[in-house]
Amino acid sequence: MPEDETLTVGNLGESGLLARILPRLRGAEPLLGPGDDAALISAPGGAFVFTVDTLVENQDFRLHWPSGFESSGYDVGWKSAAQNLSDVNAMGAYATAAVISLTLPHHTPVKWVEDLAEGFSAAVRELGAVHCAIAGGDLGRGTELSITAALTGAVVTGKVILRSGAKPGDIIAVSGVLGQAAAGLALLDSAVPVKDWSECMERLVYAQRRPQPPLLAGPAAAAAGATAMMDLSDGLLKDGRRLAIASAVRLEFERDALIKDAEKLESMAARLGKDPFEWVLGGGEDHGLLATFPPEAEIPSGFRPVGVVLRREAGDTHEAVTLDGEPPEVTSGYDHFEG
């Protein structure tokens, strides 16, 4: 690795770069700072959650896919809303407001931008974020299309659910689909042309284009006493590992509990020569929830158990995440600065 003077962001991974930036962000103390799905802010009227996320063309979305599919502004607007709403959901909160900042190249069709606004609004309404105002934003020119949304949220139960609260003996549960968005992404990226897509294939691509974060599940998990929770944006294993490390525990997933998720992807995986379990374990962007509940808790509807939380001692040779007791073979997951 080069010396500090010549070090570029391409030389560091996302986490390495964050480790350089975060200590330099020094303002008033938030109740909860960086490192969870959203921050928690102290304000005169009570604490609120706060999150921001940017989608950049050709990094976080494509307009033109190898399969010939064309992403609409509606799709991109929907995705921007969905992933930010999911971050609020993962804290056990509900969204109160969104602001949007758009950077638009000169040649962007006005119709595409109108569609983006429609898609963002539709996600807010159709995903059930009924208290979320879309309060305006900022508009600017650039050479690269990007959309940033920032959302605030209110805490239902009086406390937010962090990644760090999982305890040995807790039940691991997930809400929402697993691997469907990844399967859809693989198809979009494939040589299978759009005109040959079956209804099942369309459905998987739809899961990628229009993620469906289960917005009732976050507050319901908080009310049911969830000990830890996070958004599934980068894949079950990668996100699970983050939760396990934040909580200093091991997450033991049961393959049997995930078989149904994989079965739904089997024909598609066969067609593309893939292992459906890779999508279930490693695929991101479904924006479901990963949560842990005390053994005595009643797991709320919409969640299904997928494993248990185990003790992890210092120097434990086990991985932070295991599958049927073994280190999982799939370790991939998304990193913005990899490669």
Cβ 242 to its own copies shortest distance, Å: 15
**Binders of its own copies in range 109-148 (CB under 8 A):** 109-111, 113-114, 117-118, 120-121, 124-125, 129-144, 146, 148
Residue 217 and residue 176 in contact, taking contact as beta carbons nearer than 8 Å: yes
Cβ 290 to its own copies shortest distance, Å: 20
**Binders of its own copies in range 310-339 (CB under 8 A):** 336-337
Q: Which is nearer to its own copies, 145 or 281 (CB)?
A: 145
Q: Which is nearer to its own copies, 51 or 180 (CB)?
A: 51
Residue 148 and residue 52 in contact, taking contact as beta carbons nearer than 8 Å: yes
Q: Is 63 in the site for its own copies (CB under 8 A)?
A: no
**Span interacting with its own copies, options 6-14, 165-173, 177-185, 264-272, rule CB under 8 A:** 6-14
Q: Is beta strand 133-141 parallel, antiparallel or unpaired with respect to 93-104? A: parallel
Residue 303 and residue 250 in contact, taking contact as beta carbons nearer than 8 Å: no
Burial (0-12, 13-18, 19+ Cβ within 10 Å), 23:
exposed
**Binders of its own copies in range 142-181 (CB under 8 A):** 142-144, 146, 148, 150, 152, 154
Q: Is 6 in the site for its own copies (CB under 8 A)?
A: yes
Other CB atoms within 10 Å distance of the CB of residue 46: 10
**Span interacting with its own copies, options 58-66, 171-179, 238-246, 258-266, rule CB under 8 A:** 58-66
Q: Which is nearer to its own copies, 145 or 280 (CB)?
A: 145
Residue 223 and residue 284 in contact, taking contact as beta carbons nearer than 8 Å: no
**Span interacting with its own copies, options 38-46, 224-232, 243-251, 294-302, rule CB under 8 A:** 38-46
**Binders of its own copies in range 15-34 (CB under 8 A):** 17-18, 20-22, 24-30, 32-34
Query: Which among 101, 111, 98, 110 has a CA at the least distance from the CA of 139?
Result: 101
The CA distance from 320 to 63, in Å, is 37
Question: What is the distance, to the nearest Å, from the Cα of residue 153 to the centroid of all Cα atoms in its chain?
Answer: 17
